[in-house]
Every structure is written in structure tokens, then in C-alpha cells.
Amino acid sequence: MEICCAQLASVFEDPDAGLKKANKAVQAAVELGADLIIFPEQFPTGWDPSSSLFAEGEDGPIARRWCRIGEEHGAWIVGSHREVGRSGIKNTALLISPDGSIHARYAKMHLFSPGGENLVYRPGDDLVVGTCAGVSIGLAICYDLRFPELFRRYADRGVECMIVPAAWPCSRLNHFDLFIRARAVENQFFVAGVCTTGITPIDRYCGGSLIVDPTGETLCRGGEDEALISAPIDPNLVHRTRSLFPVQKDARRDLYM
């Protein structure tokens, strides 16, 4: 499976313009051979921890638009947006299948309290695993990267590749790079992190998207500008790495679980 990180700047609080931009990116990525295209956190609006504008229900216009884009281009897509449920507003990522259906839905578990995201949004409670083109996919969002326990739980569930949409600012971009690589090598799976770029009223973003393999090798990396970067995901490498270097089997879970 070929994963493409669509490292693009959002059109702030303009989902119609943002999703038109996403549609063009998916078309271009598919033409380059991508099977799965992933977008930054809350791409249709840009990430804003204090905004509930354009928050919608599970079958709202933004979700339907993501589905139409996937169906039109016959591609898997991960896109996130603001979703309203019974417990409140959640920062939600959707895994869209090539037939235009929602294959999986994940709500961000760890809300960014330094920015007040926890004051507006409600956290998710469930790990979400889907199968995409024969690869077991797990979903996390941005600040989730700082919590390695979450990624270990995904590894325990047999995940072969983690997808992490993010809006990680320039001022801490070295942390984003570090966490993506650390989560990959400590759990021996692929991690694809896609970060936005450009300037919004919230912060300045410098891209830096990357895909890392189970050995910690960086397969591709974006610069500061908009770009489509991609890499192949081979689940056999996950199993070979875990077999040759059995970290999970050697863990002393009785001491720290």
C-alpha cells in the first residue's frame, strides 16, 4: 500500500474552499500511485481549539464531502473535522473507503489543554482499528503523540501502521519529528504523521510531515512548503522486525501495567 501525506495549508474557517483543495490533492496523489491519502488535523477549517464553527453530526456536509471525494477517486482517505455527538463536540478523524463509505471513526483522546481544547471539545474513549488495502491501520490525532501508552495499546491490537493527522506548530516541530520516530521504533510499526503548513490566526506551521518504518528509518519527509509526500507500507516488514527483535514479547507487563 502506498500512503501519501497531503501536507497542505488549510483555508481557515472555509470548509468549502478547503475541501475543493483536498479534492485536487487526492486526484494528484492517486495519479502518482497513492492508495491512501491523509490530511492534517481539522483540515477543512484549520485547527482551532476554541472554535465550534462548522461542527456537525455524523452525517454532516463535511463528512459527506469527504466520502464523495473518496468515491470519486477510488481512494482511501483520512480526514478530520469537528463532529457533534451526544456528549458534545469531538475532534474526529474519518477513514473513508474507496466506495465512499466511512470505514472507521476516531475521536481524539488527548485534548490539548495548554491551548484550551479541553474546554470546548470532549475526548474520545475508544481505540479505532481498520483494515485498509490489507494493512491494519490505527488512528490517533496530534497531541495523542505525547502519550506512548496509547500507541502501545494499538501495537497490542496488531496494528501495522498508525496514521496521525496533526497541526503541530513550528515552535515545537522538533518534538513532532521525535515522537513520530519514537512511536514507530518502540512499537515496531509504521507511523505516518501529516502536519499542516502556513499561518493561521492560531499559530504558524512548518509542515515536516514524515513516514517512518518499524525500524525507525524515515522513508520520506516534507519541508516547510505544501507538498505531497509518499512511501510504500509493507506489513511483512512489521512482522519480520518483531520476529527478529521481539521487544513486545520481552516486555515486563506485570511490572508496569
Which of 80, 91, 12, 89 lies closest to 45 in space, CA to CA? 12
Does the reported pTM lie above 0.85? yes
- The gap between the terminal CA atoms of the chain, to the nearest Å, is 34
Task: Give pLDDT, residue 257.
Answer: 64
Task: Give residues with Cβ within 8 angstroms of 243, minimum separation 6.
Answer: none
Per-residue pLDDT of the chain (257 residues; tens, 9 = 90+): 999 999 999 999 999 999 999 999 999 999 999 999 999 999 999 999 999 999 999 999 999 999 999 999 999 999 999 999 889 999 999 999 999 999 999 999 999 999 999 999 999 999 999 999 999 999 999 999 999 999 999 999 999 999 999 999 999 999 999 999 999 999 999 999 999 999 999 999 999 999 999 999 999 999 999 999 999 999 999 999 999 999 888 888 888 76
pLDDT tens, residue by residue, 145-176: 999 999 999 999 999 999 999 999 999 999 99
How far is residue 162's CA from residue 211's CA, in Å, rounded to a whole number?
10
**129 grid coordinates:** 482499528
Q: What is the CATH number of domain 2-247?
A: 3.60.110.10
